[in-house]
A and B are shown apart, each in its own frame.
Chain A
């Protein structure tokens, strides 16, 4: 199959899913007992002001009409106003999203570029004690990764590396206090400071990112690593690996073949993990006062800031769906069977 028809077929799934996500959010919001206009506006708006908000949010008329209004508002990027911050939710999210994306992307980078190669090495044929230790360690890690609560691990890491050892900065956000925020290009401090060559900010933002990224990679990377190890072990017995061995290829070459062949399952595992990661970021951001979308979500739940929660849910579900599409595109690239067999 060619790339474009594949993309088109994938897109045909994407749009109904987006509509489904929007519809379910609408239904949940309507299920809440009480006046939706009051919930959206927050407790500070007087009764007289509610009518205006009803008009603005399209909360008038029968439900189907309201639903259409709701869709129209969404297509215009109108997510309502957060009564707590006083800003439009869309604006709040645009300022906070890069911080969360930075966290998630760094976590995926660490998982896929550091942990994954180690895992794949560990399943290869060698017998040395180093391999045995790695294998044991990874086995233990696989057991432990799923059991530790992320928010608890984050607190323990803060205790060890900030309170006791003092190696890493306090969990007070993405930068040290007093360090200026870099010129906004992408909104991700590490990237922006790198682009503008601002080394002070760069160093500070890297140091602040170490702990949250470690915690997220440790807790959520485990699923990807486990899939890679299981897949790698199965591939050890595959015919093409036996053939490579018979031909006398070196262990390193065989490792490379196996690595390549684990990509499709790793891609799937990454997509699934991403959904968990967004949730994990919510809790971990809270502990590190990260100031991203996750912390915004928690703050909104505590303040019953319903417009904001709804915005976070819609945006994160949308990101999740986009990630699924991206992974399917990666799939097209890493699994040649799609191209040849269709």
Chain B
């Protein structure tokens, strides 16, 4: 089709419309919601402060605890800050902390899991090392998660960087175990034998030939782990051991709103919680979508490609 000098290639649109990802998402509305929400959340994290109607960190004179209205969509809190603007701007802090922690968990936990899995039960220095790693992780897992987070934050002080470290310390175990179990099921496959026969070193086999296979499920878990990270960030901030006001962050906003809840002003605590719950839910749906997209049976179920 040709309008003036603009050529629109409909073929291109059809390709998108018929692509498997789109077919999948139109059949799975919850997962589609998750993917769309995630894209929007990342955009908001990037440009949120530029588009919100009020300043997220400054009090508005004479606007203490105003209920939701056309001017203040989610109302204002006890210090007179606009809750809607703060909810939107909080995407930046929460996602930055949670995503950094999860990516760190993935890029460090995953390879350690590959190592621990490949040399599990084998002799030599590497075998012993892999056993030591597993015993160490067992001990870390004995700590109740949030309590360990409290100890670490108490030890190193409440700052975004330290929360990222806490998220890593707690969540990398999930990545590690997943990568390890993947490797355990892969390491006796013929292609490993072939790699060894053609003279690759053990470390090279583990990290060059096996790791790419093991990291796919680990990557699929990234959005789920990010959800946990948001929980932890908000929980620590709620009790004052994380991000501090006036920096917009959902957990600390809920903690500011908690006292007024008892006196009936429900909006300062309600809205940040809803945004946060929707975010965690959406991210877990993205995780399910990634897992389902990798499942060949799902294609058959949706009747795609026949």
Contact (A144, B281) CB under 8 Å given A152-B276, A155-B269: yes
Give the residues from 146 to 200 in chain B that come closer than 8 angstroms, CB to CB, to chain A.
146-156
Complex interface: stretch among A59-67, A248-256, A257-265, A305-313: A305-313
Number of interface residues of B (CB under 8 A): 49
CA–CA, A25 and B140, complex, Å: 10
CA–CA, A159 and B153, complex, Å: 30
CB distance from B236 to the nearest CB of A (A): 9
Name the A residues within 8 Å of B276 (CB-CB): 149, 152
Name the A residues within 8 Å of B257 (CB-CB): 155
Q: Contacting B147 at CB < 8 Å: which of A143, A171, A312? A: A312
Name the B residues within 8 Å of A163 (CB-CB): 261-264, 266
Whether B146 lies near A278 (C-beta < 8 A) is yes
CB distance from B101 to the nearest CB of A (A): 16
Contact (A24, B140) CB under 8 Å given A149-B235, A283-B238: yes
Question: Chain B: interface secondary structure?
Answer: helix
- Nearest A residue (CB) for B254: A152
CA–CA, A151 and B263, complex, Å: 18
CA–CA, A39 and B258, complex, Å: 30
Name the B residues within 8 Å of A171 (CB-CB): 262
Most A CB within 10 A of own CB, among B142, B227, B235: B142
Closest 6 CB pairs of A and B: A279-B146, A20-B139, A152-B273, A147-B281, A278-B144, A147-B280
Interface digits, B222-245 against A, CB 8 Å rule (1 contact, 0 not)?
A: 000001000100110011110000
Number of residue pairs spanning A and B whose beta carbons lie under 8 angstroms apart:
152
CB distance from B245 to the nearest CB of A (A): 14
Contact (A309, B151) CB under 8 Å given A159-B261, A283-B235: yes
- Nearest A residue (CB) for B143: A317
Which residues of B approach A to under 8 Å, CB–CB?
Answer: 30, 135-136, 138-156, 227, 231, 234-235, 238-241, 251, 254, 257-258, 261-264, 266, 269-270, 272-273, 276-278, 280-281, 284
CA–CA, A170 and B259, complex, Å: 13
- Nearest A residue (CB) for B144: A278
- Nearest A residue (CB) for B270: A156
Whether B142 lies near A151 (C-beta < 8 A) is no
CA–CA, A161 and B34, complex, Å: 32
Number of interface residues of A (CB under 8 A): 54
Interface digits, A61-91 against B, CB 8 Å rule (1 contact, 0 not)?
A: 0000000000000000000000000000000
- Nearest A residue (CB) for B272: A152
Whether B235 lies near A151 (C-beta < 8 A) is yes
Name the A residues within 8 Å of B266 (CB-CB): 159, 163
Most B CB within 10 A of own CB, among A287, A317, A324: A317
Q: Contacting A283 at CB < 8 Å: which of B146, B272, B278, B281? A: B146
Name the B residues within 8 Å of A16 (CB-CB): 135
